[in-house]
Every structure is written in C-alpha cells, then in structure tokens.
C-alpha cells in the first residue's frame, strides 16, 4: 500500500451524538450512540435490550463501526469501564488502532435482493406496486419494478428484511426512475427515506451491518 492510499483510508473518530455499531461483543452487533470523545477514548451509551442495560465484558477487543460524511468507517477498541450495578451510565472504550475507512463499494449501499411493495395511492384497486430491492442503505434503496414511479413524489414503501429486522414500513421520496431493460422489472427506482423512526433505523442499520460483514468476509475469503 502506498503512502497516498494509506492516507486515503484514514478517518476521524466518530463524533459525539453519532450512531455506531459495536461488533465482536457477545450478542452483538449492538447499536448505540457516542456520548463523549477524547484523544483515545469513546464514551458509549449503554446498549439496551428489552429496556434493560446490556452488560458487556471489559478488556475484550471489538470493532466500532460508524459513518463519517456518509462514508463507512471502523476503529478497533476495547471496553475499559462500564456502568456499575444498577447504573445506566456509559461504557468507556479505549481506541486501540487507527480509524479507517471501509471501501465505499462494499458498505455504503449493500447489494441485497428483498421483496418490497410501494403504495403509490394511484391504483384504482389500491393494489401496491411489487418490486425487488437491488441495493439498500440506511438512507435509501434502489428498486427494480415492473412499471415507473414518478420522480419527485412520495411513496409508502414496505421492505421485507426477514429475521430480526422483520418488515420495514417507511416513507420515501422518489429521486429518479430510469428504464434500463426489457425484463420483467425494467424500471430502476431510486428512493431516499424520509423521517425514519429511530427504532426502524436501528433495525435497518443492524441488518445492513450484518450483510456488510458477510460481504467483507466473503471478499476476504476470495482474496
């Protein structure tokens, strides 16, 4: 790796108030928020499960995954302090490596094919438009559909992620709609999610993080 490419892979630490994922800890990955940043430490709000603080082991290596200006990043860390018995205080993580960017092609938009339905509000019978996701991110989706959707409008979109993520019901803005081929779903529709509830965002981020990790593991295995 050249000095220029190494520099391009560096990243800042996550900012206070930023949402992160803790990967490599029991039961994880865990979604949480940064509540404080110092030179080599991060204060992390204690993740919760069923309304209760999750008790995580100290002195165990893990990875903090996050985004900076829509670019996915990660940094190695270990927990050095945690909330005491009955406390809801934060965990303190010591950073053990240099923050780094993750290649955009693997992580910003995750290629995943999921069943989706778009309620356009214009069908006489009220039937939603059935579609398939081509890729998905925390901010939007690219769909393949049998007919076009007018750009600039809003749609109610349902995406079936399956597993713990379940089914997401979101409002989205139609960014663009392009005709690309003559197959069964020739229209590519780009959506940007609007006003996503925090609970839905947590589920989607966790789902995408798992898929991202699977892709990275596959790429590593093939290299």
pLDDT of residue 171: 92
pLDDT of residue 50: 78
Distance CA 45, CA 62 (A): 16
pTM of the predicted structure, to 2 decimals: 0.55
* β-bridge mates for residue 100, sequence order: 10, 74
Residue ranges of domains in the chain, CATH in brackets: 3-102 (2.30.110.10), 110-219 (2.40.10.220)
Reading the block at residue 146, the tokens are 């049998």
Q: 3-state DSSP call for residue 43?
A: strand
Q: H helices then E strands: how many in the chain?
A: 3, 16
H helix intervals, 33-128 = 104-107
Give the pLDDT confidence of 101-152 residue by residue, as tens digits.
865 433 457 888 999 999 876 654 567 889 999 889 888 899 999 889 988 8
Reading the block at residue 90, the tokens are 């934060």
Q: Under a CB-based contact definition with an 8 Å cutoff, are residues 138 and 201 in contact?
A: yes
Give the pLDDT confidence of 9-56 residue by residue, as tens digits.
678 889 999 888 888 888 777 888 999 999 899 999 999 887 888 899
């Amino acid at each position: 790796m050249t000095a220029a490419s190494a520099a391009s892979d560096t990243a800042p630490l996550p900012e206070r108030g930023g949402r992160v994922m803790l990967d490599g800890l029991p039961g994880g990955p865990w979604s949480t928020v940064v509540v404080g940043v110092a030179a080599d430490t991060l204060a992390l709000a204690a993740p919760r499960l069923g309304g209760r603080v999750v008790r995580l082991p100290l002195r165990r290596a893990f990875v903090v995954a996050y985004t900076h200006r829509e670019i996915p990043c990660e940094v190695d860390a270990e927990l050095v302090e945690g909330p005491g018995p009955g406390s809801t205080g934060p965990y303190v993580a010591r950073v053990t490596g240099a923050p780094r960017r993750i290649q955009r092609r693997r992580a910003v938009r995750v290629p995943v094919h999921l069943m989706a339905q778009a309620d356009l509000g214009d069908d006489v019978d009220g039937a939603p438009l059935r579609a398939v996701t081509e890729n998905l991110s925390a901010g939007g989706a690219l769909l393949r559909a049998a007919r076009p959707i007018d750009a600039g409008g809003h749609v109610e979109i349902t995406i079936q992620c399956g597993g713990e993520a379940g089914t997401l019901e979101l409002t989205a803005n139609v960014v663009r709609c392009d005709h690309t081929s003559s197959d069964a779903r020739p229209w590519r529709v780009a959506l940007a999610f609007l006003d996503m509830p925090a609970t839905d965002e947590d589920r989607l981020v966790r789902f995408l993080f798992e898929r991202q990790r699977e892709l990275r593991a596959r790429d590593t295995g093939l290299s």
